[in-house]
Chains A and B, each alone.
Chain A
């Protein structure tokens, strides 16, 4: 939506209003220092966000720069071991763990979220909707430390019960990923539901008029036309999964481990940062700077995902009218 400029549409100079006060309605634009002050303050508020981003980039960038002077990009991105204490700086174990947990989370959140959204927007009667939406909001509002705890004490034993204790480790990426999916589910469902509801009734009615069933309308007409909103929802959910910390810190594992086995433990980028900084960050050591390198990578990944999501919205947004 284009921003409008609210300059006063009325601007009339009126001469001579100093002399007489009666009879003249003056609409002259006299100087109002208060207005300028207010505008300046509001501009400052908006600029804080720029300062924040600059702060993030400066903080992460400065330390990462001195990190990359000592460790080459190649070693960082292709090394298979992450153990700063002995000089190993390969991000692959942490990166694969992050991607793996996010993947499992998406496996749960995307289909379920989309399906819940379809149900809520197309099928659910009004009363059910009014109850379900707050329930989903509660799911989203549960603190992540509770989810992590749940993954550890309920989901992992459940998996171990099904697959056997020697196949499933106490800390594993699968249960962290599954629980993370449930955490993200309300986000996906709510954004998808907004996108689906924005599809005008005319499209649906046209489909019914052609003789389509409700299922066919929803799946073949409504969902494709809401595609940009759905895609944006998926990407935002992915970026949320990548950035999630406490669930993986509690349930996925405490040692960097390059593995694709979902039943083994592996530490993610975020889990590693919180584990090490729960101690203290010793200045001027390569371990300290390596944390910032990881954080910078994380920031860039989520930034890229967010920008991608906005581009998709803008590019594929259907104009309904």
Chain B
């Protein structure tokens, strides 16, 4: 090409390239920005000022004319006795004799059970940081008896408390246990089945019609919406297999309230959901192992299973494990199928085993956003933070484990 034909539009082409490069960068930046704003909005809701007013004014809790601050232990115990229900008093005393409790503990009980501070209004982190004076003025006007304090909705109580209709006393204890138990069981079911299927498809299956159908089938199942798995789980695990999933056949006495809406049903449903993903991932991992490894093992007389068990699997283990953990972390965030299978709205006891009724963290979040009181939004935001951290840790653990396996592989251990 002649030079004078080539050079004139070179600058223009380069300029265009530079503009588009900027556009590409901007698009990428937008995605990152979106993630940042998503997390920012959640963090914004998880911390902030709250104003709380007391249900019962402490000033009215005088005992024989002695105001609350001046009462000694015995008088405090008497105040408690006079203001809570008889049975609650008996229970508190049975836990640890009130006479042996310190002054601080007795005051704590009085605040928790009698005074009962309730949240009246909440503000976001941004408002609390930038509008603090306006908030203070508003509180002075509308809630003169109110107590304004900065509250982190992510606190020890969030993890230790069970469900409650009072936002300040509610927590995700039951939901986390339910989530973790469900995930553990899902992993126990999906991992062997998934890896087994992948081994069969990659190592044993001949290239005939049936096996091709199985493979196509798995790819299609990976794309089926999760809610359909929920309906499948409802029809099969909750209804048809009810004696199994409710634990009735394992217990001599008829399990009371036995029905199939248990952790076992939920785990089996989720296992079916992530099974195609585990299989596809494991198959890719096995495919990446070079044949020379297999052939050298067979050359020294190992059987096929011995080859797989001692050479192929360990070599593919890192990728298989990572993929499985990523699939399980996807199951962590699943809400719709478990709503259909029947997670409970309210439970008094944390799940105790595979045959317990349950709720999970995403469902608890979903239900909290359905509560009328505004402070439950803040609680939901805090729970979302916990869920995100949980999911991220699972992903990080998978990646770290993979790197560790890789290092060992490279070092020839």
In whole angstroms, how far apart are the Cα atoms of A136 and B203 in the complex? Answer: 33
Q: Say yes or no: B221 contacts A49, CB within 8 Å.
A: yes
Q: Which residues of B (211-255) have their CB < 8 Å from a CB of A?
A: 211, 213-214, 216-228, 230-232, 234-236
Which chain A residue lies CB-closest to B42? A146
Name which residue of chain A comes closest to B385, CB basis. Answer: A146
A: which residues have CB within 8 A of B? 1-6, 8-10, 27, 32, 34-35, 38-39, 41-50, 52-53, 55-56, 59-60, 111-112, 115-116, 118-120, 123-124, 132, 135-139, 141-147, 149-150, 153-154, 182, 185, 189, 211, 213-216, 219, 236, 239-240, 242-246, 249-250, 270, 273-274, 277-278, 281, 291-292, 295, 298-299, 302-303, 305-307, 310
B158 within 8 A of A: no
CB contact under 8 A between A46 and B200, given known A216-B17, A281-B234: yes
How long is the Cα–Cα vector from A300 to B189 in the complex, in angstroms?
27
Q: How far is the CA of A53 from the CA of B20 in the complex (A)?
A: 45
Least CB distance from B17 to A in Å reads 4
> In the assembled complex, which residues on chain B have CB atoms less than 8 Å from the CB atom of A39?
200, 204, 305
Option from B31, B231, B333 in Cβ contact (under 8 Å) with A144: B333
Expressed in whole angstroms, the minimum distance between the Cβ of B191 and any Cβ of chain A is 11
Across-interface contacts of B24 in A (CB, < 8 A): 115-116, 118-119, 123
Q: How many residues of B contact A (CB 8 A)?
A: 95
Are B206 and A45 within 8 A (Cβ)? no
Whether A48 and B38, one on each chain, are in contact in the complex, defined by CB atoms closer than 8 angstroms, is: no
CB A170 to nearest CB in B, in angstroms, measures 14
Chain B residues with Cβ below 8 Å from A3 are 201-202, 205-207, 211
Q: Which of A142, A145, A303 has the largest number of chain B CB atoms within 10 A?
A: A145
Q: Is the CB of B223 within 8 A of A236?
A: yes
Most buried by B among A52, A111, A189, A302: A52
B17 touches A215 (CB 8 A): yes
Question: Which one of A118, A136, A243 contacts B31 once the chains associate, using CB atoms below 8 Å?
Answer: A136
A182 & B294 in contact (Cβ 8 Å cutoff): no
Please judge, given known A-B contacts A135-B35, A242-B225, A305-B223, whether A278 and B21 are in contact too, CB under 8 Å: no
- Inter-chain contacts of A135 with B (CB < 8 A): 31-32, 35
A5-B206, A8-B298 as given contacts; A145 in contact with B340, CB under 8 Å: no
Q: Which residues of B contact A (CB under 8 A)?
A: 1, 6, 13-14, 16-17, 20-21, 23-25, 27-28, 30-32, 34-35, 37-38, 41-42, 192-197, 199-207, 211, 213-214, 216-228, 230-232, 234-236, 272, 275-276, 279, 287, 291, 294-295, 298-299, 301, 303-305, 307, 329-330, 332-336, 339-340, 362, 365-366, 369, 377, 380, 384, 387-388, 391-392, 395
Structural contact, B279 and A49, CB atoms closer than 8 A = yes
Q: Is the CB of A112 within 8 A of B388?
A: no
Distance of A27 Cα from B298 Cα, bound (Å): 11
Chain B neighbourhood of A45, CB < 8 A: 192-197, 200
Min C-beta distance of A130 to chain B, whole Å: 12
Q: Chain A residue with minimal CB distance to B207?
A: A3
Closest 10 CB pairs of A and B: A243-B225, A143-B333, A45-B196, A215-B17, A42-B200, A119-B24, A45-B197, A46-B197, A245-B336, A115-B27
Write out the residue numbers on chain A whose beta carbons fall within 8 Å of the beta carbon of B335.
143-145, 245-246
* Interchain CB contact under 8 A, A139 and B196: no
Chain A residues near B365: list those with CB within 8 A.
145-146, 149
Of the candidates B21, B303, B340, B392, which one forms a contact with A35 in the assembled complex, judged by CB atoms under 8 Å apart?
Answer: B303
Give the residues in chain A near B330, CB-CB below 8 Å. Answer: 141
Residues of chain B within 8 A (CB-CB) of A144 are: 333, 335
Q: List 17 A-B contacts (CB under 8 A).
A: A3-B202, A9-B299, A35-B303, A46-B196, A50-B213, A53-B220, A60-B228, A119-B28, A135-B31, A143-B332, A150-B38, A211-B1, A270-B336, A273-B231, A291-B231, A302-B225, A307-B216
| A304–chain B nearest beta-carbon distance, Å | 10
> Quick one: closest B residue to A49, CB to CB?
B218
Residues of chain A lying within 8 A (CB to CB) of residue B42: 146, 150
Cα A6 to Cα B333 with chains together (Å): 39
Chain B residue contacts of A124, Cβ below 8 A: 28
The smallest beta-carbon distance between A3 and chain B, in angstroms, is 5
- Cβ-neighbour of A116 out of B28, B192, B206, B221 (below 8 A): B28
A52 touches B275 (CB 8 A): yes
- With known contacts A3-B207, A143-B332, A49–B197 Cβ distance under 8 A: yes
CB neighbours (8 Å) of B1 from chain A are: 211
Contact of A185 among B31, B220, B395 (CB under 8 A): B31
Residue of A nearest to B199 (CB): A42
Q: Which residues of chain B are within 8 angstroms of A211 by Cβ–Cβ distance? A: 1, 6
The answer to whether A141 touches B329 (Cβ under 8 A) is: yes
Q: Which residue of B lies closest to A307 (CB)?
A: B220
Minimum C-beta distance from A143 to chain B (A): 3
B391 partner residues in chain A, CB cutoff 8 A: 141-143
Contact (A48, B217) CB under 8 Å given A3-B207, A6-B294, A136-B31:
no
Q: Are the CB atoms of A2 and B207 closer together than 8 Å?
A: yes
18 more A-B residue pairs beyond the given contacts A48-B197, A150-B41, A211-B6, with a C-beta to C-beta distance below 8 A: A6-B204, A8-B298, A39-B305, A45-B194, A50-B213, A55-B236, A119-B27, A135-B35, A139-B31, A143-B333, A144-B333, A147-B38, A215-B20, A216-B13, A274-B336, A274-B339, A278-B339, A292-B231
**Bound-complex Cα distance A132 to B27 (A):** 12
> Which residues of chain A come closer than 8 Å to B304, judged between CB atoms?
6, 8, 35
| In the bound complex, CA of A250 to CA of B339 (Å) | 14
Closest to A217 in B: B17
Cα A136 to Cα B31 in complex, Å, equals 8
Which chain B residue shows the least CB distance to A244?
B225
A243 with B226: CB separation less than 8 A: yes
